[in-house]
């Protein structure tokens, strides 16, 4: 059995929530999209991504293909409007079918796997600071407070289709596993050890765990919109 909890919050310093999300156990699809702050119509871009991916998955497309179609649609919409700045969004999405999961992402929204009492970050951010970490220029701890930590290197609507890097991972979804999809509004304020602490409360429902994560992000400062979806297999 699949159980999931979900919540989004505008945060404490923004007037507009540019995040969006979707969850449907029947379709076996969950996603979080974070509209680009500083770009025009971030909330439009994230909603367009959600609608395109849900439509394409419903039509039988693979996850990475659905994400590529969303990128092209957002770029076309931006061009039609003649914006000086393109509108953009990150995406992290997951499909579950026949006891297996597949995740795909573009940008710095993340997916974590909780298994056997341990938390693992499955996705790798498409961000400026992640590139610095990969080069050995800074540590992950330094990345958390780096002035350019919010600069993404890939985003739907911003990255040309031929340069879009849709990364995917798949695996077996065994009973007791939990998968967390979230925008960077969560990981900006709540570190991995805190996330692990919350997910360790397996006696709580998935929704209660998500509520706790969002509350922790607000307690940490709530500097951005924050969205989380937690999917569990029983």
Q: Let me know: does 75 contact 157? Beta carbons within 8 Å.
A: yes
**CB-based burial, 84-99: b 16+ in 10 Å, e otherwise:** eebbbbbbbbbbbeee
Tokens 């439009």 map to which residue? 44
Residues 155, 224: Cα–Cα separation, whole Å: 18
pLDDT for the residue numbered 8: 98
Question: With contact defined as beta carbons under 8 Å apart, do 71 and 136 qualify?
Answer: no
To which H or E segment does residue 213 belong?
helix 206-219
pLDDT per residue as tens digits for the range 143-174: 999 999 989 999 999 999 999 999 999 999 99
Q: Is the pTM of this model over 0.95?
A: yes
Nearest of 56, 94, 51, 49 to residue 75 by alpha carbon: 49
Q: How far is CA 52 from CA 45, 116, 194, in A?
A: 11, 35, 33
Q: Using an 8 Å Cβ cutoff, are 114 and 97 in contact?
A: no
Considering only CA atoms, which of 97, 127, 95, 96 is closest in space to residue 109? 127
CATH number at residue 145: 3.60.40.10
What is the pLDDT at residue 38? 58
Residue 28, domain extent? 2-233
CB 107 within 8 A of CB 157: no
The tally of domains found in the chain comes to 1
Q: Confidence class of residue 40 from pLDDT cuts 50, 70 and 90?
A: low
Helix locations, 122-205, DSSP H: 128-134, 140-143, 184-187, 192-199
pLDDT at 41: 86
- Residue 109, both tokens: 């929204």
Contact 34, 90 (CB under 8 A): yes
Q: Rounded to an integer, what distance in angstroms lies between the CA atom of residue 151 and that of residue 41?
A: 17
> What confidence tens digit (pLDDT) does each residue in 95-128 have?
999 999 999 999 999 999 999 999 999 999 999 9
Mean pLDDT of 38-44: 77
Mean per-residue pLDDT over the chain, rounded: 95
**And the tokens for 100?**
């297996």
- pLDDT above 80: residue 39: no
């Amino acid at each position: 059995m699949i159980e999931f909890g979900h919540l989004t919050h505008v945060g404490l310093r923004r007037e507009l929530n540019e995040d969006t999300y979707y969850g449907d156990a029947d379709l076996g699809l969950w996603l979080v999209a974070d509209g680009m702050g500083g770009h025009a119509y971030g909330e439009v871009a994230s909603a367009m991504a959600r609608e395109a991916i849900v439509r394409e998955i419903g039509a039988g497309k693979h996850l990475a293909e659905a994400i590529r179609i969303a990128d092209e649609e957002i770029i076309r919409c931006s061009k039609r409007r003649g914006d000086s700045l393109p509108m953009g969004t990150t995406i992290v999405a997951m499909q579950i079918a026949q006891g297996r999961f597949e995740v795909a992402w573009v940008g710095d929204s993340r997916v974590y796997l909780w298994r056997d009492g341990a938390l693992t970050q499955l996705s790798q951010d498409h961000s400026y600071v992640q590139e610095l970490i990969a080069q050995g220029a800074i540590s992950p701890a330094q990345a958390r407070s780096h002035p350019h930590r919010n600069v993404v290197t890939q985003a739907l609507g911003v990255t040309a289709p031929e340069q879009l890097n849709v990364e995917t991972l798949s695996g077996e979804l065994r009973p007791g596993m939990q998968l967390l999809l979230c925008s960077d509004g969560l990981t900006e304020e709540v570190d991995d050890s805190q996330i692990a602490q919350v997910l360790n409360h397996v006696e709580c429902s998935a929704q209660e765990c998500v509520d706790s994560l969002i509350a922790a992000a607000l307690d940490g400062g709530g500097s951005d919109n924050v969205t989380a979806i937690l999917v569990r297999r029983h």
